[in-house]
């Protein structure tokens, strides 16, 4: 059966899609809002990661050459315990670096550091290798010229600085024997001749503290354990472990409240 149109009436179809189609301006604004949401989310995630998981730091000096070179960007992990032999980033609460920052940035640079886009260049951070944990006895040097930790000779050839001619620096050019106090660590740079590390502060006088107290870094000042070199990309690598140090047995006696330093007055 064929349907018939009623006389005088035209059959029409209403196009509802035209009424709801977004304009060009609406499409642009929608894209901008989505981009802003993604950007804000990325900033939040980056900030959370750098404050609780890991953070990037810039190496400003040669004290850790050639494990770390000047200008390297190092990723430090924040949720792992500190072990003997680790490369650690720590706050300079004792003022080892002095009053002037090594690298200066403006407000925008500091904001990008805060969210983790740029590496931290704060004057308040140093990076060294952990030689002694609380209670450890660290001494220089034994009959073959090595450091000893808890009476065991430490082979440091894998990471100590070598010159262009292949000559390796000595583990230390000063003689000392220390017992690391509770809650603190004893640290040294891998380029021992260019590192003003714990050895160089054993005679420091701090009001209200025993002589040499600020040579031992508080564990509470440790900002992270070095995990990898991120940049420059031709140096990107996971930082190797200092196996000889890591395998040394723990101290057999409790860590003292106050460090033992011999001889008195020793320094770099």
State phi, psi for 235 to the nearest 5 degrees. -115, 5
| pLDDT of 17 | 46
Distance CA 96, CA 204 (A): 10
Q: Break the chain down into helix, strand, coil percent, rounded to 5.
A: 25, 25, 55
Question: What is the mean pLDDT for each group of 10 consecutive residues in the chain (268 residues)?
Answer: 50 50 81 66 50 74 94 90 96 82 56 53 80 98 97 96 94 97 98 96 93 97 93 93 94 96 95
**Residue 104 among the catalytic residues:** no
Distance CA 236, CA 141 (A): 34
Catalytic residue among 104, 122, 128, 163: 128
**Residue 63 among the catalytic residues:** yes
Catalytic residue among 3, 9, 61, 63: 63
Question: Which SS3 state, helix, strand or coil, does residue 24 take?
Answer: helix
CATH number attached to the domain at 24-262: 2.10.109.10
Question: What number of other Cβ atoms are within 10 A of residue 226's Cβ?
Answer: 23
Q: How far is CA 191 from the centre of its chain?
A: 18
Distance CA 181, CA 51 (A): 28
């Amino acid at each position: 059966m064929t349907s018939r149109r009623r006389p005088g009436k035209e059959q029409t179809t209403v196009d509802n899609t035209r009424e709801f189609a977004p304009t060009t301006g609406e499409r642009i604004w929608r894209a901008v809002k989505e981009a802003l949401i993604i950007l804000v989310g990325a900033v939040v995630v980056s900030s959370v990661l750098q404050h609780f998981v890991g953070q990037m730091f810039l190496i400003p000096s040669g004290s850790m050459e050639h494990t770390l070179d000047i200008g390297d960007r190092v990723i430090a992990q924040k949720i792992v315990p500190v072990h003997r032999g680790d490369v650690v980033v720590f706050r300079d609460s004792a003022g080892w670096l002095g009053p002037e920052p090594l690298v200066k940035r403006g407000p925008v640079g500091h904001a990008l550091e805060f969210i983790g886009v740029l590496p931290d260049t704060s004057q308040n951070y140093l990076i060294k290798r952990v030689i002694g944990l609380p209670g450890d006895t660290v001494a220089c040097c034994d009959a073959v010229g090595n450091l000893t930790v808890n009476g065991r000779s430490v082979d440091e050839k894998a990471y100590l600085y070598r010159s262009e001619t292949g000559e390796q620096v000595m583990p230390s050019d000063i003689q000392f024997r220390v017992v690391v106090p509770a809650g603190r660590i004893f640290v040294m740079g891998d380029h021992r001749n260019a590192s003003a590390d714990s050895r160089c502060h054993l005679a420091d006088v701090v009001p209200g503290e025993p002589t040499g107290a600020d040579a031992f870094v508080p564990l509470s000042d440790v900002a992270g354990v070095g995990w990898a070199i991120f940049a420059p990309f031709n140096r990107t690598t996971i930082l190797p472990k200092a196996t000889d140090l890591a395998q040394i047995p723990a101290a057999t006696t409790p860590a003292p409240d106050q460090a033992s330093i011999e001889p008195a007055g020793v320094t770099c």
